[in-house]
Amino acid sequence: MRRYDLAILGAGSAGLVAAIGAARLGARVVLVERERTGGDCLWTGCVPSKSLLATADLAHRMRAAGDVGLAPAQPEIDLARIMARVRQVQASIAVHDAPERLRAEGVEVVHGEGRFEAPGRLVAGTRVLAYRRALIATGSRPVLPPVPGLEAMDPLRPALTTDTVWELDALPRRLVVLGGGATGCELAQAFARLGSAVTLVEMSDQLLSVEEPEAGALIAQRLRAEGVQVCSGTRAERLDGCTLTLTDGRRLPFDRILVAAGRVPRSDGLGLEVIGARTADDGAVEVDATLRTTARGVFAAGDVTGALPFTHVAGHHAATVVPNALFHARRRFDPAAVPWVTFTAPEVARVGLTEAQARARHGAAVRVARHDYAQVDRAVTAASTHGFAKLIVGRRGRLLGATVAAPAAGEAIAGLASLMAGGATVGRIASAVHPYPTFGEGPARAAQEHLRAVYLGPRTRRLTRPLLALLRAAERLR
């Protein structure tokens, strides 16, 4: 029996990056996938959602053309045509994740359900595969909240999830979205811009509850301005046919309901108990900082670990695992400087700590630098002034975190994340030359205003005025 250097369960982002990376290092690699290569990102996550958001954004800008001096236009919305375009985008990207490409890289691809049979051995379909090291990269799946009536809906019009919403071919006239996190807000705004009457239900008092409160408030305000009914601080109590009753007594009639209430790791049925890999209550595979599980020679990466559920994190996990698995390295994954983006309009991007988190850790040493995009010239010229940049500053000016809620925030946060990873100070941000006029000026303006407040206040003038007077007098005597 051939023994593989690395056997991988799951061909999503983590599995693909690890498989190709290991194969290019000369390792014997086998990749087991029960469905399609590409994973959630390609088929139900980033790629289809951002394709839909692009269409919805253009539809919105057509209607709002008056903001920039053009005649507004009402777009003709055909969801079947829009979804066909989404599938075309997926097909164009799928070639990079296809089995043919993997095999060309030297990866053996096996289609089937994979599970561990014993330490050092797993079963995939009818095959038994021996391995030195293994990687669990099976991703996650949507979770349905325990709302009476949700699972008993008409099978011809069941509750939609982030996995199944892409099967729609007609625009829902009335859409209820359960969940005000990143995905719920993105899809609520997209469908509202395409013409659905959307109601967004979030049990927390704020949308985007893991972000800065003002970011959640900004997105709630923008959604309401675009016609979305935002119901926060309440939750679904029961469904009766096509009516949802909330715990605050409101009754919401709908044509379709979309559940965006989170995801859970996909770890059941893998035989983890056979090899001694422990999982948390939600199914997340437990790993240490090097992404080793409690099973000898077995690693885990991506959503199945219950860590930050982002494609770029899964890829970074994979790049960490490969040298650790193949060459006994001890590379560690540090989430401190990992950025993420919610692709609403405006975007909300963050890296590091929020203000509340920073004050809980560092107390009174924390200072906040902020700049509103109403004062960013590029935002003014583009008629897109809703937003802000907020920097969290610690001792000696060290950057502890940043939130940018503004157009192109995802582009701006990348540079801030790079600076944070190097331990940069707010002075480093302020001293860099930023091109004008760009949306990326927001964080730089916040940093500059912070430094002006610290170093160019009345106290500084009290010190510099006598010095300048002395220099003037000295020069007159020359």
Distances (CA, A) of 213 to 30, 218, 354: 45, 9, 9
- CATH architecture of residue range(s) 160-261: 3-Layer(bba) Sandwich (3.50)
Predicted pLDDT at 464:
79
- DSSP string of 80-146? HHHHHHHHHHHHHHHTTTSHHHHHHTTEEEEES-EEEEETTEEEETTEEEEEEEEEE---EEE----
Instruction: Look at residue 103 in the predicted model and tell me its pLDDT.
Output: 97
Domain with CATH 3.30.390.30 in the chain: 337-455
Q: Where in the chain is the domain with CATH 3.50.50.60?
A: 3-38+97-142+264-333, 160-261
pLDDT given for residue 287 in this prediction: 98
Q: In the CATH scheme, what is the code of domain 3-38+97-142+264-333?
A: 3.50.50.60
Q: Is the pTM of this model over 0.85?
A: yes
Question: What pLDDT, on the 0 to 100 scale, is given for residue 458?
Answer: 78
pLDDT of residue 236 exceeding 80, the answer is: yes
Question: Mean of the pLDDT values across residues 98-114?
Answer: 96
pLDDT confidence of residue 77: 98
The CATH topology of domain 337-455 is Enolase-like; domain 1 (3.30.390)
Copy the structure tokens of residue 109.
């691809």
pLDDT-derived band at 282, boundaries 50, 70, 90: very high
| Lowest model confidence (mean pLDDT) among 149-163, 200-214, 344-358, 399-413 | 149-163
Q: Which tens digit of pLDDT belongs to each residue from 138-197?
A: 999 999 999 999 988 888 889 999 999 999 999 999 999 999 999 999 999 999 999 999
Q: Which residue has the higher pLDDT, 78 or 451?
A: 78
Residue 30: both structure tokens together: 């086998």
Reported as a single tens digit per residue, the pLDDT across 397-450 is 999 999 999 999 999 999 999 999 999 999 999 988 989 999 999 999 999 998
Phi-psi region of 179 (alpha: psi -120 to 50; beta: other; left: phi over 0): left
* pLDDT at 466 (0 to 100): 84
pLDDT digits (tens, 9 = 90+) for 41-87: 999 999 999 999 999 999 999 999 999 999 999 999 999 999 999 99
Give the pLDDT confidence score for residue 304 in this predicted structure: 98
CB environment 91-125: b (16+ within 10 A), e (fewer): eebbeebebebbeeeebbbbbeebebeeebbbbbe
Tokens of 167: 């099967």
Residue 318 pLDDT class (50, 70, 90 cuts): very high
